[in-house]
Amino acid sequence: MSYTGPGFDPPPSRRPRRAPLTVVVAALVPGALLGWFVYAAVGDHGGGHGDGAATLRAAPSATAPSPGRDAAGAAPSPGYPTDSASASVPVDGKGPGASSAPAATGPLKGKVVVIDPGHNPGNFRHTVQINRQVDIGTHRKECDTTGTSTNSGYTEAQFTLDVARRLRTLLQRQGATVKLTQDGDRPWGPCVDERARIGNTAHADAAISIHADGSAAGNRGFHVILPASVHAGAADTRPITAASRALGERVVGRFVRATGMAPANYVGDGTGLVTRGDLGGLNLSTVPKVFVECGNMRDSKDAALLTSGTWRQKAAQGISEGIAGFLGG
């Protein structure tokens, strides 16, 4: 590519200085010829020296972005597609963290979807904050956790944020208004109670939390977690359990079709559905909500899929189709 920088600047253009000629007697041909020779000699020599009329340099062109950085010179967001497969998949026309306006028309026009990317890439730097106990209705538990990772170090928080951004784009193209609980725009969290509150405050028609599991090697596949019927303290999921199950069932079916991944072989009895009453993000929700555990990061075969940008796009597609089916899109 073209690069302008140290050692690559274009050579300076040179503008000759022309000393003024004094014509004493215009009629004397020898004098005129002598003046001409003096003029030529000064013009050829004067480019490199001057009395304040400095040699003009060509204006440098705009510096091209360094490899691995965007046009503003910023490094890519952690976990955003960097492999060649994902680079060819359009995710969001404005960049990793950008949120485009919802489409003017589409089957999901007027619908609000809240996407909750599980954990946060910066949680491990804020252990005091994320270990703080919060009330989830049935009991108190940690504000958040760091999540799991593949054996090679690709974190769950990176994975969830990437899939969430892809999912946002797909839903917005269908006209939905989409809100993320975090978009790599905060150093840690939010806590699980705030994650639920964001969906409630938005009056979401559907909310979905993106995760990946950290089970034992050999345990493969995805599963969708549904809220149990909980009525304790600040939690009351009774009004949303039926709608959440309908959402979860549609996500399971579309996820299998889009990704080719089978439901988990270690939970859910092959149905891809698991019901839990110990998750604050579900217990405190007042809108239809499910968790999607997209695969097991600790199994090498699942990990090979989860670390593929092409597969993550398929995962986002399957989830978006499930949500659209639930919302009647």
* Enzyme catalytic residues: 293
Parallel/antiparallel/unpaired status of strands 177-180 and 235-236: unpaired
HSE-CB at 195 with a 13 A cutoff on CA atoms is 30
Tell me what percent of the chain is helix, strand and coil, each rounded to the nearest 5: 35, 15, 50
In this structure, are residues 260 and 318 in contact, taking their beta carbons and an 8 Å threshold? Answer: no
d(CA 137, CA 233): 5
Beta bridge partners of 224: 273, 292
In this structure, are residues 190 and 123 in contact, taking their beta carbons and an 8 Å threshold? Answer: no
Listing DSSP states for 52-83 in one string gives: S-PPP-PPPPPPPPPTTS-TTSPPPPTTS--S
**Closest alpha carbon to 115 in 329, 328, 322:** 322
Please name the residue that has the structure tokens 């996500």.
251
Task: Please classify residue 126 by burial: count the beta carbons closer than 10 Å to its beta carbon, then call 0-12 exposed, 13-18 middle and 19+ buried.
Answer: middle
In this structure, are residues 241 and 228 in contact, taking their beta carbons and an 8 Å threshold? Answer: yes
d(CA 73, CA 254): 39
Parallel/antiparallel/unpaired status of strands 133-135 and 140-142: antiparallel
C-alpha distances in angstroms, 164 versus 29, 183, 240, 248, 297? 86, 9, 23, 17, 17
